[in-house]
Amino acid sequence: MVSLSKKTTRRGGRVSRSKKRTGGVTMDHVAREAGVSLMTVSRVMNNVPGVKASTRDSVMRAVKALGYSPNAAARSLARNGAGRIGLLYSNPSAGYLSQFLVGALDGAQTSGALLVIEKCDASLESEAAAIGRLIAGGMAGVILPAPHAESDSAIAALREAGVVAIAVGTGHARPDAHGVRMDDFAAAAEMTRHLIELGHRRIGFIKGAVNQTASVERLLGFETEIRRADPPADCLVEPGDFTYRSGFEAAERLLSSDHPPTAIFASNDDMAAGALAAAHRRGLDVPGDLSVAGFDDTPLATAVWPELTTIRQPVARMAEAALRLVLQESRDQSRRDSRAPIDQLLPHQLIVRASTGQVPDKS
């Protein structure tokens, strides 16, 4: 019966429908409520300067009273494609991607952008093809997370097409693209200090994938802090590639050495989990016999036992920041030549959980 109302009850049923249509209130309603013109509301919603504070207030009040929320589709349409943002992803570690997507989606919703997600695999051709699709799709800007942020060819192609590119999660600022990232160097140093303060003087480090600049920064941060330790500390560095397996194998190597470390710092959580497994396999207690630290604070960090001491990388916030930045830049770009790439650094946080502890007695 309910659905019947579609045609028949144009009056009654339609009431609830007309309310439902687009979330109910439109700018028009708000304008009427606030006693201003539609355009003024638009200005307020977009933070355009040149609106009297009192007017702005009354509009905001009307917005709240009516529970108005702007229609992203209409906005995108009116803006004529500006605000269409592409996001290229391939296959980053599971936790990373979902957090990133959620952050970007969230940001898109608040800022009224239209996110277009494009997928590609690891190959360069696939990446180039995806970039091509994004450019052809008329994106105003493109967000490049983790692995693609390092791709010179992708960024060059975007520049060529006049599309704003944002590199997320690189080890250092790029000269050819805006960036949103964290201070990998400082974070790694901080974690290393944490281990040193716990008394560890022989620390193993598992490197990340070599083609990512963030890996390098993490290693440098670690080494710098090791050199600074007093009394002096010693380190063993093993290669890894950000996978659980590589962490497991690197830890095996570290633990089977003549003089094994009392702590292992892995460049990400996956590898730390691998190290944990290797330790357990040898019957070592964590953190009783061996401390293990990770990096990123992905869901995996709290899924393992004991829960990992790690560095919280604000992935969702970085995605949101990237979205905001790309939006702003793509708007500005059409006005003036703001050539200097912006480099936005977001704060990280050392999260101490159960996997690190005092160095064991030298018995």
Partner DNA sequence: CAAATTGATGTTAGCGCTATTAAAAAGTCC
Partner DNA sequence: GGACTTTTTAATAGCGCTAACATCAATTTG
- What residues make contact with DNA under the rule CB under 7 A? 21-22, 26-28, 36-40, 42-43, 45-46, 48, 50-52, 54-55, 68, 70-71, 74-75, 77-82, 112
Which helix H or strand E contains 265, and what residues bound it? strand 263-266
Half-sphere exposure in the Cβ direction for 258 (13 Å, CA): 0
For residue 54, the number of C-alpha atoms closer than 13 Å in the C-beta half-sphere is: 1
Whichever of 257 and 334 has its CB closer to DNA, that residue is 334
> Closest CB to DNA among 43 and 200?
43
342 binds its own copies (CB under 8 A): no
- Helix ranges (H only) for 25-82 are 27-34, 38-45, 53-66, 72-78
* Beta-strand pair 343-346/178-182: parallel
| Minimal distance, residue 52 CB to DNA, in Å | 4
Q: How many residues bind its own copies (CB under 8 A)?
A: 69
Cis geometry, peptide bond prior to residue 231 (ω within 30 degrees of 0) = yes
Measured from the CB of residue 9, what is the shortest distance to DNA in angstroms? 14
Q: Which residues pair with 21 in a beta bridge?
A: none
Measured from the CB atom, the residue of 234 and 338 that comes closer to its own copies is: 338
Contacting residue, 2, 54, 232, 362, with its own copies by CB under 8 A = 2
Please pick, from the candidates 248, 264, 265, 296, the single residue that binds its own copies as defined by CB under 8 A: 248
Answer yes or no whether residue 216 interacts with its own copies by CB under 8 A.
Answer: no
**For its own copies, which is the closer residue by CB, 21 or 227?**
21
The single-letter code of the amino acid at 169 is G
Q: Which is nearer to its own copies, 135 or 220 (CB)?
A: 135
112 binds, among DNA, its own copies, none (CB under 5 to 8 A by kind): DNA
**Residues 137 and 143 sit within 8 Å (Cβ to Cβ):** no
Residue with tokens 């716990």: 198
Q: Which residue has the tokens 């590589």?
A: 246
Residue that is written with structure tokens 């008394």 in the block: 199
Q: Which does 136 bind (CB under 5 to 8 A by kind): its own copies, DNA, none?
A: its own copies
Minimal distance in Å, beta carbon 70 to DNA? 4
CB-count exposure of residue 335 (10 Å: 0-12, 13-18, 19+): exposed
CA 68 to each of CA 65, 134, 144, 147: distance values in angstroms, whole numbers, following the listed order: 8, 32, 32, 39
For DNA, the closer CB: 38 or 277: 38
Q: Which stretch binds its own copies (CB under 8 A): 57-65, 133-141, 189-197, 199-207?
A: 133-141
Residue type at position 20: K
Task: Kindly tell me the burial class for residue 152, based on how many C-beta atoms sit within 10 Å of its own C-beta (0-12, 13-18, 19 or more).
Answer: exposed
Residue 109 binding result from DNA, its own copies, none, given CB thresholds of 5 to 8 Å by partner type: its own copies
* Tokens describing residue 320: 């949101």
Nearer Cβ to its own copies, position 9 or 227?
9
Does 175 participate in binding its own copies (rule CB under 8 A)? no
Q: Which region among 112-120, 229-237, 288-296, 318-326 touches its own copies (by CB under 8 A)?
A: 112-120
For its own copies, which residue of 31, 41, 44, 95 counts as binding (CB under 8 A)? 95
